[in-house]
Amino acid sequence: MKTLLYSLLLFTAPLLTAQTATPEQIISDLSELEITEGINLHIISPEPIQYVDLSTEKLTGDLPASNIARIKITDNTISNKDKKKQSIPFFSGDTVGIITVVGQSFIAQYKAVYRSPDNLNTITNIHIQPDAMQPIEFDKMIFSNRELRQFALDIIQKNADKKPVRIENNLNLSMQLNNVYVMGDYIFLDMTFKNTSNLSYDLEALKFSIEDKKIHKATNNQSIEMTPVFQLNPQKHFRKNFRNIYVFKKFTYPNSKVMMIRLIEEQLSGRTIEMKVNYSDILKADTF
């Protein structure tokens, strides 16, 4: 198990400019979490965890998933002169450390309290609740995945039947850019894919890149791949219709280039459809 070292800062870079605008927290006000030898405590966050701190060496843990911190009591044995192991005793109610979890937009702290293994009511997992979160403010407008998801859901609720910004048709497939939205330093692409054939579509990849508008020689083409920082739906299969929201950090490109969007099917000779998006389409982005 990868150990969360004593007072080690994990993923500190995104937090260097963080400032909290909340009242000071004191230990006596912290919520208590019960913890027992041999039982892992899983702390589940509503957004990716950026950093975990365990205030004492009595606790150890790791991050088995981006939004889960797994904590346990450290193997509390010492060796005597006869090379025999002896347990370092804990007593029920002892505080064994402070657990600090920092997400993309909040900090949550708990007091870990020891409970005897005989206690059958020991909690094995908790979800971080809103009342345990202290918000973190950043100098730049950085949205958490939870916030980006909510923005994307708001867009999905909008009517996508109006005239799309761009549309391409090929091989009984249709790719349309319904609209472009901007929020802070983020660009949201609202896209719909339609399949009018009787064969369902298994998506291998949806690729975004910035490429030269005019290519005189294939070797002269400069392609810059772009990866969304968030997408609402990870779905890879659809029969007739599929709508999704793709989110990018704000970007610019000159009029001599275009954004190329390629939908590629999961087959050796799979159906592929491409769309070129001019920068003027991005500049017309709506706000919401």
| Claim to verify: residue 92 and residue 189 sit in the same structural domain | no
Q: How far apart are the C-alpha atoms of 138 and 17, rounded to whole Å?
A: 6
Least confident of 4-8, 128-132, 241-245, 267-271: 4-8
| Claim to verify: residue 17 and residue 126 sit in the same structural domain | yes
Assess if residue 1 is contained within a domain. Answer: no
Assess if residue 7 is contained within a domain. Answer: no
Residues 103/14, Cβ–Cβ less than 8 Å? no
Tokens of 58: 């009595």
Least confident of 29-33, 166-170, 215-219: 215-219
Assess if residue 8 is contained within a domain. Answer: no
Q: What is the mean pLDDT of the chain?
A: 80
| Claim to verify: residue 221 and residue 202 sit in the same structural domain | yes
Identify the H or E element spanning 154.
helix 145-156
| Claim to verify: residue 112 and residue 170 sit in the same structural domain | no
| Claim to verify: residue 159 and residue 272 sit in the same structural domain | yes
> What per-residue confidence (pLDDT) applies to 140?
54
Assess if residue 5 is contained within a domain. Answer: no
| Claim to verify: residue 163 and residue 283 sit in the same structural domain | yes
Q: What are all long-range contacts of 116-124, with beta carbons under 8 Å and residues at least 24 apart?
A: 116/36, 116/92, 117/36, 117/37, 117/38, 117/39, 119/34, 119/36, 119/92, 122/34, 122/35, 122/36, 122/39, 123/33, 123/34, 123/41, 124/39, 124/40, 124/41, 124/42
Average pLDDT over residues 49-61: 91
Least confident of 149-163, 166-180, 215-229: 215-229
pLDDT tens, position by position, 211-226: 988 764 555 567 889 9
In this structure, what CATH number is given to the domain that contains residue 255?
2.60.40
- Per DSSP, the three-state class of 219 is helix
- pTM (predicted TM-score): 0.58
Assess if residue 256 is contained within a domain. Answer: yes
Least confident of 49-53, 165-169, 222-226: 222-226
| Claim to verify: residue 132 and residue 158 sit in the same structural domain | no
Assess if residue 210 is contained within a domain. Answer: yes
Residues 139/55, Cβ–Cβ less than 8 Å? no
Average pLDDT over residues 234-239: 83
Predicted confidence band at 12 (pLDDT cuts at 50, 70, 90)? very low
| Claim to verify: residue 83 and residue 122 sit in the same structural domain | yes
The residue from 95, 110, 139 where one domain ends is 139
The residue from 112, 139, 166 where one domain ends is 139
Assess if residue 6 is contained within a domain. Answer: no
Q: Is the per-residue pLDDT at 82 higher than 50?
A: no
| Claim to verify: residue 43 and residue 171 sit in the same structural domain | no
> What per-residue confidence (pLDDT) applies to 161?
64
Higher pLDDT, 199 or 150: 150
| Claim to verify: residue 68 and residue 123 sit in the same structural domain | yes
Higher pLDDT, 277 or 235: 277
> What per-residue confidence (pLDDT) applies to 226?
93
| Claim to verify: residue 161 and residue 120 sit in the same structural domain | no
Assess if residue 194 is contained within a domain. Answer: yes
| Residue-range definition of the domain harbouring residue 208 | 147-287
> What per-residue confidence (pLDDT) applies to 26?
77
The tally of domains found in the chain comes to: 2
Q: How far apart are the C-alpha atoms of 234 and 95, rounded to whole Å?
A: 42
The residue from 109, 139, 169 where one domain ends is 139
Highest mean pLDDT range out of 10-14, 102-106, 121-125, 179-183?
Answer: 179-183
3-state helix, strand, coil in the chain (%, to 5): 10, 45, 45
Higher pLDDT, 25 or 204: 204
pLDDT tens, position by position, 251-284: 888 888 899 999 888 776 578 889 999 988 998 8
Residues 71/49, Cβ–Cβ less than 8 Å? no
| Claim to verify: residue 110 and residue 237 sit in the same structural domain | no
Average pLDDT over residues 10-21: 38
> What per-residue confidence (pLDDT) applies to 4?
42
